[in-house]
């Protein structure tokens, strides 16, 4: 092992060893309920993002999928999420990105 490699390894261990020693840092994943269903269930690679979709001051969840469809689960006043609804364009047609 040359000096550069040894120095790189020492720096890496100095920075990341404490993190490795702490073990798990995250809680187990949970399924997000939207209405009475699991959000994104049955879709190909659902990808959620937090965004205030309707500008009411509450963070909603917008979910895209591999097929290019978007849905939104709006946060209600009681901090639960309403059932997912399709995102529509200005003409009322389902917004579709055709597999991005």
- Give the tens place of pLDDT for each residue, 22-56: 666 778 888 888 999 998 989 999 999 999 999 99
Element (H or E) spanning 29, and its range?
none
Given this model, what pLDDT does residue 54 score?
94
Average pLDDT of the chain, as a whole number:
84
Summarize the confidence of residues 67-77 as an average pLDDT: 93
Please say if the pLDDT value at position 2 is more than 80.
Answer: no
CA 47, chain centre distance (Å): 6
Distance separating alpha carbons of residues 84 and 66, to the nearest angstrom: 17
Output the pTM of the full model.
0.68
Distance separating alpha carbons of residues 95 and 65, to the nearest angstrom: 12
Summarize the confidence of residues 48-76 as an average pLDDT: 93
């Amino acid at each position: 092992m040359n000096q550069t490699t040894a120095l790189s390894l020492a720096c890496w261990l100095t920075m990341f060893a404490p993190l490795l020693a702490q073990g798990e840092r995250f809680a187990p994943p949970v399924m997000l309920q939207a209405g009475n269903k699991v959000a994104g269930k049955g879709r190909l690679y659902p990808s959620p993002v937090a965004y205030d979709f309707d500008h009411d001051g509450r963070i909603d969840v917008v979910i895209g999928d591999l097929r290019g469809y978007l849905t939104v689960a709006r946060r209600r006043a009681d901090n639960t999420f309403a059932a997912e609804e399709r995102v529509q364009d200005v003409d009322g047609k389902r917004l579709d990105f055709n597999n991005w």
